[in-house]
Amino acid sequence: MPDQETRIELELRRWAVHSIEGRLVYIEKIRAPVRFGTREPFVWVDSILDPGTALTVIPPSVWQRFPSEIRWPDAATVAALPSWLRVFGSAAGGAVGCRIGFVPIQIYSKTYRNYFDTEIIAMLADRDVNLQRPLLGLGGGVLSGRVFHLDYDREEAWLEKRSAET
Amino acid sequence: MTTPQTPQQSDPTQVNGSAPADEENFLQLDTQAQIQLVRADYDTAYDLLKARQLDRYGGQHVAVLRGKVVGHGTNALELRYTVAREQGVHPERLAMIYVDDLQGPLII
């Protein structure tokens, strides 16, 4: 069984490159293997850590694999949600309705040997549009209690558990 | 979703519909063993992606099982369940990745 550890190595994954006046640009993303839910068999989804997204967004093709493990807020809480927590828009394709839910996840290291688990608040999209993979956003619990490190030039990224001193 | 085509054993990127039934008893394995199985196929998928061998599937999801591409399509959920049924494995046994369409716009 993988261990919970203080440092989770992520992966700056590059899979296309082009040279512009001698400088290389890539399609590149920070990949995070994530287990959604807690039951067997595990629901394993390669996700993208995207601190530029305010809150984690999960496409229906993913969250419909574990609907019973999502904790939905009660009606009063839902009624009080502002519009920015009911609909999101993106460069990928107009406005998309969503529901807010609490989702247990485990974020694994790129070696799959260790992980940390948490419950996040996420936006569960009602259609895929161009959203093909979960985007692990800045808020909602993904990064809470963790320090996110990125050394771009060395292609290294990791999450580190915040110690009492920091 | 695209149904499996004629198997071509020598090319892992060609859809191969001839995989055996799920001899691994996936559901009976412990979590670590499940991870190892699926991880191996994710590694294969990303190796193929990096080698640009999945470019033909740009804009689609690709399913990999036991080191081979076993399906591709634009609807990830439908692809997962259809391929799992065809291959005789649990849907969560499949490794699936999305292949960016390098001929189309960059999806942010």
Rg of the Cα atoms in chain B = 13
Tens of pLDDT along B27-82? Answer: 888 888 888 899 999 999 999 998 989 999 999 999 999 999 999 999 999 999 99
Round to whole Å and give the CA distance between B82 and B24.
19
The pTM is what? 0.85
Task: Establish if A78 touches chain B: CB-CB under 8 angstroms.
Answer: no
Amino acid, single-letter form, for residue A88: F
**Contact of B60 with B72, CB cutoff 8 Å:** yes
Task: Establish if A26 touches chain B: CB-CB under 8 angstroms.
Answer: no
Q: Which residues of A touch B77 (CB under 8 A)?
A: 60-61, 64-65
CB contact under 8 A, B108 and A1: no
**Contact of A48 with A135, CB cutoff 8 Å:** yes
The answer to whether residue A36 scores a pLDDT higher than 60 is: yes
Q: 3-class SS at B14?
A: coil
The answer to whether residue A106 scores a pLDDT higher than 60 is: yes
Calculate the alpha carbon distances from B73 to A29, B56, B83 in Å.
22, 12, 10
Q: Which residues of A touch B97 (CB under 8 A)?
A: 46
Residues with Cβ < 8 Å from A2, sequence gap 6 or more?
A108, A112, A113, A114, A115, B31, B32, B35
CB contact under 8 A, B27 and A41: yes
